[in-house]
Amino acid sequence: MKNWTVKQLSAAAMMTAVSVVLLYLAQVAPTMKLSLTALSGVAAALLIARHGPMSGILCYGASSVLGLFLTPGSAWLYVVFFGWYPTVKCLVERLGRRAAEWTLKLLSFNAAFFLLWFLLPGVFAELLPEMTGLFWLLWPAGNIVFVLFDLGLSQLLGFYIRTILSKIKK
């Protein structure tokens, strides 16, 4: 394990704070719960782009613990999927083989989906109360939305790395 610098730890702490604030907003906002929870995961993705996957794991762990204590209603989506997925995405995309990458990404999403659906059904009931009995519709729709989320996250990270990080490093 590499040595952590003060800069890396403070960046992880700041992104953890951003994630927890977004989780809190997801808890109190009547709408946009899913979007705000996904944005809390994007905060970790930006951290990973700058400081690597270990910083994402640190941010995920701290945000998950704080989120479960402070915002238990909205934190489960973060804990089960949105928090750790940016780190998995970073590591999987290093394989360099598209078919294997997408297979692993879809497996990770579907594992999280099934965990939420069968072991934590209250999360879906709170998020989409009118669709709790429509597994056959939500599962394929969830996969489509996941692919769009992954592609959008890739575009956002590419823009961040090309435009913002390149100017920060100069």
Question: What pLDDT shows up at residue 132?
Answer: 66
What is the sign of the dihedral through the CA atoms of 56, 109, 142 and 93?
Answer: positive
Q: pTM score, two decimals?
A: 0.84
Closest by Cα among 23, 14, 66 to 41: 23
Enumerate residue ranges in the chain where pLDDT < 50: 1
The token duo for 49 is 């782009």
| pLDDT for the residue numbered 6 | 85
- Cα gap 91→115, rounded to integer Å: 22
Give pLDDT, residue 74.
75
